[in-house]
Amino acid sequence: MTSLLDLAPVVPVVVIEDAADAVPLARALVAGGLPTIEVTLRTPAALDAIRAISDEVPDAVVGAGTVISADGVDAAVAAGARFLVSPGWTQTLLEAMQRSGVPFLPGVSTTSEVVALLERGVDEMKFFPAEAAGGTAYLRSLAGPLPQVRFCPTGGISLASAPSYLALPNVGCVGGTWMLPADALAAKDWGRIEELAAGAAALRG
Residues with a known catalytic role: 38, 126
Q: Which of 58, 60, 39, 35 is nearest to 200 (CA)?
A: 35
CA distance 162 to 10: 9
CA 69 – CA 93 distance, rounded (Å): 6
Strand partners, 104: 84
Long-range (24+ apart) CB contacts under 8 A made by 130-133 are 130/154, 130/155, 130/156, 130/157, 130/165, 130/174, 131/155, 131/156, 131/157, 131/161, 132/156, 133/109
